[in-house]
Structure 1
Amino acid sequence: MFKYALTRWRYIGLVSSLILVFASILSVYQNGLSMSIDFTGGTIIDVQIQTLLNASDLQMMIHGSLKDTLIIRNGAEPGLWQLVMPANSIMTDPYQIVSTVSEQFSLPVTLVQASVVGPQVGEELFNQGGLALLAASLSIMGYLAIRFEWRLALAAIASLIHDTILTFGLLAFLGIKIDLNVVAGLLAVIGYSLNDSIVIADRLRDVLRAKPDMSIYANTDLAVRATFARTLVTAGTTLFIIGCLLVLGGEALYGFSMTMFAGVLTGTWSSVTIASTVQELLGLSPEHYQTKPDLVDDMP
């Protein structure tokens, strides 16, 4: 048991984070990541239907050949709806789909517009999204390697990996389809998840230089306490805004806002449980940030 109470709680949090990482990997393995039409290809048909029913009620009314393929989503405005058909569906003609839906609903359905995403376009979007995530991660790693001592840099990278895995695990558990909005949310999470880690690392670097006689555990606890109020205020205000977007943004922004909410929450948590503990396990000490005296040759 460690001498400092905060250190003990930080390491308990580290164990909890490792359990959550294992659960997230298991969630992705069992449930898989559901890719949206942006990446798999298909047809999106915007229609107008004057009804008081919601999307779930309309979805239950679908039967026949469209039952297992057609997905109904809320549109941008009341009375507007989106009919989503995957690329491998039997029925692909928008007019035929609208006519069939109108018959099954016993309601007039007006075609507004239809857009088709081909499999090749979906594959290109998937590759570009992956390259964007990779480029952002490599850029951040390069920045950390230049700015901090390698132990602090690896701790921040471990925190980033932790946040990404937990976010993917939540997306898989909730069955949220990964579309371009979710990729944008992931890019934002990659940047934000390092925010608190870098703040704590900056503060710890200053403390290590100012208090070389204290142990690494005491120095880390002091850095965490010094930045804790700032972390809570920043995370709290950010989560409040994202929470409003999550509740009021509608289905179109649900994946993006949920990704951001999970990323900010895990990023705040990991800055204390991952970033501030991994560097201790790697052997960081105050000596690594002490100025070494210049060696001057003795002159006769």
Structure 2
Amino acid sequence: MRLLKLVPDNTNIGFVRLRYWAFGLTAALTLAAVALVGVRGLNLGVDFVGGLMIEAKFQQPPPLDAVRENIDALGVGDASLQQFGAANVVSIRLPPPASKDEGANNAVVAKVKASLLREYPGMTFTRYDTVSGKVSNELIRNGVAAVFLAVFGIALFGWFRFEWQFGVSTFVAIAHDVLMTLGFFALTQMEFDLNIVAAVLTIIGYSINDKIVIDDRIRENMRKYRKMDMPSLIDLSVNETLPRTVMTSLTIMLALGALLIWGGQVLRGFSAAMLLGIVVGTYSSIYVSSSLLIALGVGPNSFKGKDEGDKPAGRNANAERVGPRR
């Protein structure tokens, strides 16, 4: 029985020759994402803007539009509804009342409960949470700090693990991945909460994993084939790691696609962010991060092996090797 190979062993795609198109596309998408975030802004959830969260359990799955109309008629602000876990459990999020005291919060909650009980007798309310403005501001600061520290920490790791050029190229690629995710949420106005911050951090982790594998192969090949020109060497390295990149990305995308379709409303934002992050992370690893090394001046002598002899130059330099390396 032959093993399934999504990428043939002799794959020799010229990724580097498209680097200027890739750089232009990356710059345009990044600017568009920044403009979307600046103009439309993010639809921040209760975690970040503060407000009330009521978890209601109905006897049977309710029509969310009817529940929303019932709450909107009370004049307590625009309600955000999500099915939470089971189909008959609904998370109701409301903006904070004008008055900041606890009595105002309790009055809003009591009004919502009374109205829903009249319409849906027998339902129960399993949880009620309040997020104050002070707590939400702290969550914003912590979330932004977590993302920036992750990006800069990974860039520093690339610098010390390889050379400073690798750290810069990794920083540019990961910053692109994060901005693409933010731009997507600004465009779609999907709710941006702590779950999405967790998705962004997960995207950063996936991206660095993919980029480090390619960077390590580039460094290894630079020590083996010191006379090979950099565009050919980077193409060789990316093609050697391409089966691993494609297989990893496709399997993760299949799982995320299932979560996006059948995971329910509560996981939709997280799944969408992750799915987009995998796509842009794979693109930036192949077309942006590795090709950017050429513009940053990485050359054949950037790494010098002690005991390795020079190999013939040219795209077919890897012909001396026995079998493809994966």
Q: TM-score if structure 2 supplies the norm length?
A: 0.81
Amino acid at match of 2:35: L
Match of residue 185, structure 1, among 199, 219, 225? 199
Aligned-residue identity in percent: 29
Q: Note the C-alpha offset of 1:89.
A: 5.6
Q: Which runs of 5+ in 1 are unaligned?
A: 294-300
1:247 aligns with 2:261: yes
Describe the shift of the 1:58–1:250 C-alpha distance in structure 2 as closer, same or farther (beyond 3 A): same
Q: Secondary structure of 1:285's match?
A: coil
Are 2:77 and 2:94, in contact at CA under 8 Å, matched by a contact in 1? no
Q: Which residue in 2 is equivalent to 1:208? A: 222
| Amino acid paired to 1:36 | G
Q: CA RMSD in A?
A: 2.2
With the length of structure 1 as denominator, give the TM-score of the two structures: 0.88
Q: Kindly indicate whether residue 174 of structure 2 is the aligned counterpart of residue 165 of structure 1.
A: no
Partner secondary structure for residue 83 of structure 1: strand
Match of 1:12 among 21, 31, 52: 21
Q: Give distance in 1, aligned partners of 2:56 and 2:115.
A: 13
- Match 1:285 to one of 281, 291, 299: 299
Q: Distance in 2 between matches of 1:10 and 1:229?
A: 21
Q: Any idea what SS the aligned residue of 1:44 has?
A: strand
Name the counterpart of 1:274.
288
- Are residues 1:124 and 2:133 paired? no
Deviations 1:35-80 (A, max 9, x none): 1101211111112334554323432455434374222221322322
Aligned to 1:138: 152
C-alpha distance in 1 between matches for 2:84 and 2:294: 51
- More deviation, 125-134/237-246: 125-134
For 2:280 and 2:178, locate their aligned partners in 1 and report how far apart those are by CA, in whole Å. 9
The question of whether the paired residues in 2 share the 8 Å contact of 1:41 and 1:117 is answered with yes
The amino acid across from 1:126 in the alignment is I
The letter of the residue matching 1:99 is: A
Task: Report how far residue 116 of structure 1 moved.
Answer: 1.2
- 1:1-300 correspondence to structure 2 within 5 Å: 5-50=14-59, 53-66=62-75, 68-88=77-97, 92=105, 93=107, 94-103=109-118, 106-108=119-121, 109-291=123-305
Q: Which amino acid aligns with 1:206?
A: E
CA distance, structure 2, for counterparts of residue 43 and residue 62 of structure 1: 13
Q: How many aligned positions are there?
A: 288
Is the Cα contact below 8 Å between 2:156 and 2:167 reproduced in 1? no
| 2:197 partner SS | helix
Give the match's secondary structure for 1:76: coil
